[in-house]
Structure 1
Amino acid sequence: MDILALFETHAGGENASRICCGLGFENSFRVDAVGQSGGLWLLWRSDNGEVTIIESSEQYIVATIQNGDELLNLVVVYTAPSVSRRSGLWDKLREVIEALEGPIVVGGDFNTIVRIDERSGGNGRLSPDSLEFGDWIQRLSLIDMGFLGNKFTWRRGRTENNFIAKRLDRVLCCAHSRLKWQDASVTHLPFLALDHAPLYLQLCPDVVRDASRRPFRFEAAWLKHPSFKDLLVASWDVQLKTPEALIALQVTLKKWNRDVFGDV
Structure 2
Amino acid sequence: MKILVWNCRGLGNGPAVRGLLDIQKEDPDILFLSETKLDGKRMENFKWRLGMGNMFARDCDGKSGGLALFWKKEVQIELHNFSRYHIDVEVVEKDGFRWRFTGIYGEPASDKKERTWKLLRILNQQMSLPWLCAGDFNEILYGHEKKGGPARAQNLMGTFRSTLADCGLRDLGYVGDKFTWRNHSHSASNYVKERLDRAVANRSWCMRFPGFKVLNGDPRHSDHRPVTILLNKGYTSYRTGGANNFRFEAKWLEEECETIVQNAWSTAVLQGRNKISERLRNVSHDLKDWNHNILGNLEKRIKQIKTELEGVRRGDITQEKVSRELFLREKLDCLEHQRDMFWKQRAHVKWLQSGDRNTAFFHAFASERKKRNTIKKLKNDEGNCVEGEEQLKEHIAAYFSTCSRLGRNKKMNQYYAQFPPKSPKT
- Is the shorter-chain TM-score for this pair beyond 0.5, marking a shared fold? yes
2:90 partner SS:
strand
Q: Residue 71 of structure 1: which of 91, 98, 103 is its match?
A: 98
Structure 1 CA distance for aligned equivalents of residues 37 and 151 of structure 2: 33
Structure 2 CA distance for aligned equivalents of residues 5 and 119 of structure 1: 24
Q: Which residue of structure 2 lines up, in the alignment, with residue 36 of structure 1?
A: 63
Q: Larger relative contact order (C-alpha < 8 A, sep ≥ 6)?
A: 2
Deviation of the 1:176 alpha carbon: 0.8
Structure 2 CA distance for aligned equivalents of residues 190 and 89 of structure 1: 27
Contact 2:212–2:233, Cα closer than 8 Å, also in 1: yes
Deviation of the 1:67 alpha carbon: 2.1
Unaligned segments of structure 1, at least 5 residues: 208-264
Deviation of the 1:85 alpha carbon: 4.2
Counterparts in 2 of 1:4-43, with a 5 A limit?
4-43=31-70
Question: What is the RMSD of the two structures over their aligned residues, measured on CA atoms?
Answer: 1.6
Contact 2:107–2:115, Cα closer than 8 Å, also in 1: no
Deviation of the 1:142 alpha carbon: 1.1
Deviation of the 1:22 alpha carbon: 1.3
Identity %, equivalent residues: 28
- Look up the equivalent residue of 2:33 and give its one-letter code: L
Q: Report whether the alignment pairs 1:176 with 2:204.
A: yes
Contact 2:149–2:190, Cα closer than 8 Å, also in 1: no
Q: Which residue of structure 2 lines up, in the alignment, with residue 107 of structure 1?
A: 134
Counterparts in 2 of 1:156-171, with a 5 A limit?
156=183, 157-171=185-199
Q: Which residue of structure 1 lines up, in the alignment, with residue 219 of structure 2?
A: 191
Greater Rg by CA: 2
1:17-57 Cα deviation digits (max 9, x unpaired) = 102321111111111112211011111011012x1111110
The worse-fitting range, judged by mean Cα deviation, of 28-37 and 2-11 is 28-37
Number of residues of Structure 1 aligned to a counterpart in Structure 2 = 206
1:206 partner SS:
coil
Deviation of the 1:59 alpha carbon: 0.3
Unaligned segments of structure 2, at least 5 residues: 2-28, 236-426
The worse-fitting range, judged by mean Cα deviation, of 105-114 and 85-94 is 85-94
Q: Which residue of structure 2 lines up, in the alignment, with residue 58 of structure 1?
A: 84
Structure that is richer in helix per residue? 2
1:11 partner SS:
coil
Q: Which residue of structure 2 lines up, in the alignment, with residue 95 of structure 1?
A: 122
Misfit runs of 4+, over 6 Å: none
2:221 partner SS:
coil
The worse-fitting range, judged by mean Cα deviation, of 174-183 and 162-171 is 174-183
Contact 1:77–1:110, Cα closer than 8 Å, also in 2: yes
Q: Which residue of structure 1 lines up, in the alignment, with residue 169 of structure 2?
A: 142
Contact 1:115–1:126, Cα closer than 8 Å, also in 2: no
Structure 1 CA distance for aligned equivalents of residues 195 and 110 of structure 2: 17
Deviation of the 1:134 alpha carbon: 1.1
1:234-260 Cα deviation digits (max 9, x unpaired) = xxxxxxxxxxxxxxxxxxxxxxxxxxx
Q: Residue 128 of structure 1: which of 155, 160, 164 is its match?
A: 155
Structure that is richer in strand per residue? 1
